[in-house]
Amino acid sequence: MAEVLLEVRGLTAGYGAGPVLHGVDLDFQAGELLALIGANGAGKSTLLGVLSGLVPPTSGSILFAGRNLTGARPERVVRAGIAHVPQGRRLFATMTVRQNLVLGAYLRRDREVQSDIDRVVGYFPALGDKLQRVAGTLSGGEQQMVAIGRGLMGRPRLLMIDEPSLGLAPKVVETVIEVCQSINRDGVSVLLVEQDVVVALEAADRGYVLENGRIALSGSARELQDDPAVRKAYLGV
């Protein structure tokens, strides 16, 4: 049986005005590409925030590769092997692409950072001649590539990507999602939060549906694609 990478139990969290997450359970096998879908406001980004230590949980537990990360600070989470590619890219806009990538390796002490920049360029050839460009001047698609690349620079075991398709042309969405799949094939587990449910379920192995802060449904991507409730509520067909 595959190794359990991430085990979330009864996770509750919020921002003062009442909880956003109400007891979320999630099981992630090593090597999976998991899609997390749900309406705006369902709590998807909050869940990523709790997993990466940005939002403190009020109850529940997070076990990652056998270690207890419940309430851990972000730097410990990153060191444990979880990288968060936030919604809206959040690049250091006035710094170069290379500087953004190097910052993703901030916690590393090894000397292989340059070879990992090459690896990122291998995934995103479009960035090859833009390493010296100021990140804020790139197109939306290129900025998303840098954001994912920056996440990879920490050599994560789990890469969490929040809505990579936001504001991107259909063709660029395909490219970005295909790269997420190749990163996954190369051994990195990927948690993909995506409003483009069609694209997300095509790419994923399994999916979770978050509704009003609770996991309403989970299953193989194929099961979810065919589920009448999912089709009606999220695919609009």
Partner 1 sequence: MLELAGVTKRFGGVAALSNVSFTVAEGEILGLIGPNGAGKTTLLNCISGVYRLDGGSITFDGRRLDGLPPHQVARLGIGRTFQVVKPFASMTVRENAAVGALFGSGQAHLAPKAAFSWADEVLELVGLARKARLTVGSLTIPDRKRLEVARALATKPRLLLLDEVMAGLNPVEVDEALDMVRKVHAGGITIVLIEHVMRVVVGVCDRVIVLHMGQHLAEGTPDEVLQDRRVIEAYLGEKYAARRHG
Chain positions contacting partner 1, by CB under 8 A: 17, 37, 39-41, 139-142, 163, 166-175, 195-198, 232-237
Q: Which of 11, 172 has the CB closer to partner 1?
A: 172
Burial grade of 111 (CB within 10 A; 0-12, 13-18, 19 or more)? exposed
**Rounded Cα–Cα distance for residues 77 and 87 (Å):** 18
In whole angstroms, the minimum distance from the beta carbon of 141 to partner 1 comes to 5
In whole angstroms, the minimum distance from the beta carbon of 163 to partner 1 comes to 7
Q: Which of 11, 173 has the CB closer to partner 1?
A: 173
In whole angstroms, the minimum distance from the beta carbon of 53 to partner 1 comes to 23
Q: Which of 98, 231 has the CB closer to partner 1?
A: 231
In whole angstroms, the minimum distance from the beta carbon of 47 to partner 1 comes to 15
In whole angstroms, the minimum distance from the beta carbon of 104 to partner 1 comes to 22
**Rounded Cα–Cα distance for residues 25 and 57 (Å):** 13
In whole angstroms, the minimum distance from the beta carbon of 236 to partner 1 comes to 4
Q: Which of 62, 221 has the CB closer to partner 1?
A: 221
Q: Which of 42, 120 has the CB closer to partner 1?
A: 42
Instruction: Tell me the two tokens of residue 127.
Output: 């960035």
In whole angstroms, the minimum distance from the beta carbon of 11 to partner 1 comes to 21
**Rounded Cα–Cα distance for residues 85 and 91 (Å):** 10
Q: Which of 72, 230 has the CB closer to partner 1?
A: 230
Q: Which of 40, 115 has the CB closer to partner 1?
A: 40
3-state secondary structure the chain: CCCEEEEEEEEEEECCCCEEEEEEEEEEECCCEEEEECCCCCCHHHHHHHHCCCCCCCEEEEEECCEECCCCCHHHHHHHCEEEECCCCCCCCCCEHHHHHHHHCCCCCCCCHHHHHHHHHHHCHHHHHHCCCEHHHCCHHHHHHHHHHHHHCCCCCEEEEECCCCCCCHHHHHHHHHHHHHHHHCCCEEEEECCCHHHHHHHCCEEEEEECCEEEEEEEHHHHHHCHHHHHHHHCC
